[in-house]
Amino acid sequence: MARKIIKKRGKKVGAAPGTLVHIGEKSSMGANIRVIDYDQEHLTDTRIHAPDMCGSYRDSHSVSWINIDGVHQTEVIENLGKSFGLHPLVMEDILNTDQRPKVESYEDYLYIVIKMLLYDEVRHETRTEQVSLILGRHFVLSFQEFSGDVFEGVRERLRSGRRIRFMGTDYLAYALLDAIVDHYFILLEKFGDQVEILEEELIADPTPATLAKIHHFKREMLLLRKAVWPLREVLSSLTREENPQISAETRLFLRDVYDHTIHVIDTVETLRDLLAGMLDIYLSSISNRMNEIMKVLTIMATIFIPLTFIAGVYGMNFEHMPELAWPWAYPAVLLLMLGVAGGLLVFFRRKNWL
């Protein structure tokens, strides 16, 4: 079954602004909270079961990365929001997993929405997951719909004590954005391989299954474009607008992520154009195949029309037909019919119709 491009919002209709209602796919797992607290010399990685325990990291002197897997539990989001002073509209957007990538600036934090894309090797399709980032002075909150992400490289860099440990929360937020965007390239490489295989199949022997694959990948490219295209505006805003939460040095790194995003968008558009061309090739191939079939049938019908006329003439039961009394009339008529058919075949060959 094809995935829905637009998620249902029936529960939100008529609700007051700031009403906390989850929109999206619900998980059977409970919310999982993981806190990585670090500075230049120390790092702790802990699991927290009670959201109220996270409030102590709000004003700590170290950098705290609090990751929440599972935004379907509204009470967890509400408790965390109260602990960190989040606006009700921000908590509402976190629960609404159909948000467009965007960035919003508040008094003491930034709210960033981005789409994390994962590739399903079996079904050859993407799994789109919304990631919400809250960038504060001493903390970064990341909200994910499900467990499993592309941030393991960032965690490894934190554990190994590299440069990221000497930077602030803005650099941590940059690292998370960079990890998501870099994973887009892996996704596009896999789609590119599948499109190349599909192109070879289209040239060799197109079938109705080939058409279904073309439509499948066109839909995937549409979902990719929807997820990636608005990200250009987000990163452009982060790199150009002055914001106290982001240092000038980090803006240079964000500019690199912006360049990667432009590259991703160009690749997506190239694949979309290639798939559109493949659809035209498929339709042309089917049309040419139908034309060849109709040409063969037309030639056969053209050959048999005069033969049918001759057989019809001598099939009339008139009494006075002199040819009926000839001893060699039957073979003569057969030779005449054979000559007419052969003559037509020679004519078609000279016209290059055969």
**Tens-place pLDDT, residues 167-183:** 899 999 999 999 999 99
pLDDT, one tens digit per residue, over 110-166 is 999 999 998 877 777 788 889 999 999 899 999 998 888 889 999 999 988 778 888
Residue 98 has pLDDT above 90, yes or no: no
Rounded mean pLDDT of 225-251?
A: 89
pLDDT at residue number 354: 74
Q: How far apart are CA 214 and CA 230, in angstroms?
A: 25
pLDDT in tens, 38-97: 988 889 988 888 777 788 888 888 899 999 998 888 888 888 888 888 999 999 999 988
In the 8-state DSSP scheme, what is residue 129? E
Is it the case that residue 325 has pLDDT exceeding 90? no
Whether 329 shows a pLDDT value over 60: the answer reads yes
Where, residue-wise, is CATH 3.30.460.20 in the chain? 20-285
DSSP structure string for 267-290: HHHHHHHHHHHHHHHHHHHHHHHH
| pLDDT at 3 exceeding the cut of 80 | no
User: Where does CATH 1.20.58.340 sit in the chain?
Assistant: 292-350
β 63-69/32-38 pair status: antiparallel
Closest C-alpha among 84, 93, 72 to residue 17 = 93
Q: Give residue-wise pLDDT tens across range 250-264.
A: 999 999 999 999 999
Contact 63, 139 (CB under 8 A): yes
Nearest to 86 by CA among 25, 163, 159, 141: 141
Average pLDDT over residues 307-318: 85
Q: For residue 110, which of 88, 131, 137 has the smallest C-alpha distance?
A: 137
Which CATH class name applies to 292-350?
A: mainly alpha
pLDDT, tens digit, for every residue of 276-290? 888 888 888 888 888
The Cα–Cα gap between 151 and 17 comes to: 32
Taking residues 238-249, report their average pLDDT: 88
Give me the pLDDT at residue 6, please. 60
CB 282 within 8 Å of CB 211 = yes
Question: What pLDDT, on the 0 to 100 scale, is given for residue 5?
Answer: 58
Supply 200's token pair: 């070879």
Average pLDDT over all residues of the chain = 86
pLDDT at residue 1 in the model: 46
Strands of the 43-48 sheet, one edge to the other:
43-48, 32-38, 63-69, 139-144, 125-135, 110-120, 102-105
Asked whether the predicted pLDDT for residue 327 surpasses 80, the reply is: yes
Distance CA 146, CA 130 (A): 9
CB 103 within 8 A of CB 110: yes
Give the Cα-Cα-Cα angle 283, 285, 288 (nearest 5 degrees).
Answer: 110
Residues 6+ positions from 347 with CB-CB distance below 8 Å: none
Q: For helices 248-313 and 169-204, give the axis angle rounded to 10 degrees.
A: 10
pLDDT digit string (tens) for 174-208? 999 999 999 999 999 998 998 898 888 888 888 88
Q: Which CATH number fits domain 20-285: 3.40.50.450, 3.90.1530.30, 3.30.460.20, 3.40.50.10330?
A: 3.30.460.20
